[in-house]
A and B are shown apart, each in its own frame.
Chain A
Amino acid sequence: MSGHIRAAQRGGEAAILGLGAYRPERVVPNAEILERIDSSDEWIRSRSGIESRRFAAPDESVADMAALAAAPALNAAGLTPADVDVIVVATATGLNQTPSVAAEVDVRLGTGGAAAFDIGAACAGFCHGLALANDMIRAGTARHVVVIGVEKLSDFLNRDDRSTAFIFGDGAGAAVVGPAAEPGIGPVVWGSDSSGIAHIRQDLPWDETFAQPDGPRWPYLEMNGNPVFRWAAFEMAKAAAQALDAAGVSIDDLDAFVPHQANMRITDAMARTLKLPESVAIARDIATQGNTSAASVPLALDRLLSEGAIHSGDLALTIGFGAGLVYAAQVIRIP
């Protein structure tokens, strides 16, 4: 053995310093979805709580939306792009396999050389990204990390499938994570249950979408509703409770519950299972945003903040869960 590797300088505690959101302009009511499926507004609302969702413009990319969420998050944190050390993008709907969406976001933000990479953890991606950012700052490998959850699910929507056509929407949300005197992000509780790998999936890999007998077509996102509901409503409530324990936060000290906005019925069942006190604000952004996968948790946080349901300094329990099946949960302090 010859040389030694010098240990990295350790960092300190980390917290979310700013949040940002981007909601595409076009509001798509259930009526428009119903043009292609045999269902009803009442059925969609009762099964999902969704009244409308937003679709990005045809020429609007996930990188465009991601940058439009990151900019206000940096602004809220009182930082400029030059302060950013790392850009982490969580998405399942970027259309370029390379370069990464994060690198495309840097083109738009202009950080002047931040590390930039994507992570794939489906609807749990943003909460995975928060955990990574927390660890990077605590480890001393970064000072300011921008974590973005973004999706353009309208590209992968089977508009003729009555079980999924009404569920998904587009959007982006971002958090700037940076140094703090006190821990502002609790220990992550994360994991996977690959016995459910077939429950949520892109129906065809790209090579097969090109080899269809009738010519190329887009792949669709497919889902087995009931098994996903069972896993999400009950197993994920347990993971959420573990995240509270891991952070040493009692349910009575919690101010908000912000689960991935998968389906209002899942949120309701989780809240019942967790026995949340009346005082806890529950995120219900899905009603007018649809399920935006990796973007849903930061979008829901943004709505609670902008509507005054939560305030700076409050404690929120966040949990992302989705295809894999994978999940991540943590307690965060609202910036």
Chain B
Amino acid sequence: MASTEEIRSGLAEIVNEIAGIPTDDIQLDKSFTDDLDVDSLSMVEVVVAAEERFGVSIPDDDVKSLKTVGDAVAYIERSVA
């Protein structure tokens, strides 16, 4: 099973590819909207890419609760567990 760091770095690659943000900036405490400037549409793209990469399902209703990178990593960890 993937470690927290593996999920974070995988997610960082996705956010980098979609929003062009340096992967080193994409840390667990960072807010997608406030710190990383990932808007709601980019967030949908990030979620879909994460679903494919990690083999999880993240419904639209749950996306709203993923405020920080850490929220998303924890969600993915719980889903693959």
Closest-by-CB residue of A relative to B41 is A265
Q: A227 within 8 Å of B by Cβ?
A: yes
Q: A230 within 8 Å of B by Cβ?
A: yes
Please, what's the 1-or-0 string for A212-255, where 1 marks a CB less than 8 Å from any CB in chain B? Answer: 00000000000001110110011000000000000000000000
Closest-by-CB residue of A relative to B40 is A226
Choose one: B39, B40, B45, B60; the contact of A269 (CB below 8 Å). Answer: B45
B41-A47 in contact (CB<8A): yes
Total CB contacts across the A-B interface at under 8 A: 25
User: A46-B39, A47-B39 are contacts. A226–B60 as well, Cβ < 8 Å?
Assistant: yes
State the CA gap A233–B60 with chains docked (Å): 14
Closest-by-CB residue of B relative to A235 is B48
Which has the most chain A C-beta neighbours within 10 Å: B39, B41, B45? Answer: B41
Chain B residues, Cβ within 8 Å of A272:
18
* A 105-133 contacts with B by CB, 8 A: none
Chain B interface, number of residues (Cβ within 8 angstroms): 10
B39-A230 in contact (CB<8A): no
State the CA gap A57–B38 with chains docked (Å): 38
B60-A227 in contact (CB<8A): yes
State which size class the interface on A falls in: 10 to 19
Chain A residues, Cβ within 8 Å of B48:
230, 233-234
- Name the distance in Å between B49's Cβ and chain A's nearest Cβ: 9
- Name the distance in Å between A270's Cβ and chain B's nearest Cβ: 11
State the CA gap A230–B46 with chains docked (Å): 10
Closest-by-CB residue of A relative to B17 is A272
Q: B44 within 8 Å of A by Cβ?
A: yes
Q: Which B residues lie at the A interface, using CB under 8 A?
A: 18, 39-41, 44-45, 47-48, 60, 63
25 contacts between A and B (CB under 8 A): A46-B39, A47-B39, A47-B41, A225-B40, A225-B41, A226-B40, A226-B41, A226-B44, A226-B60, A226-B63, A227-B60, A229-B41, A229-B44, A230-B44, A230-B47, A230-B48, A230-B60, A233-B44, A233-B45, A233-B48, A234-B48, A265-B41, A269-B41, A269-B45, A272-B18
- Given contact pairs A227-B60, A230-B60, A269-B41, a sample of 17 additional A-B residue pairs in the complex whose CB atoms are under 8 Å apart: A46-B39, A47-B39, A47-B41, A225-B41, A226-B40, A226-B44, A226-B60, A226-B63, A229-B41, A229-B44, A230-B44, A230-B47, A233-B45, A233-B48, A234-B48, A265-B41, A269-B45
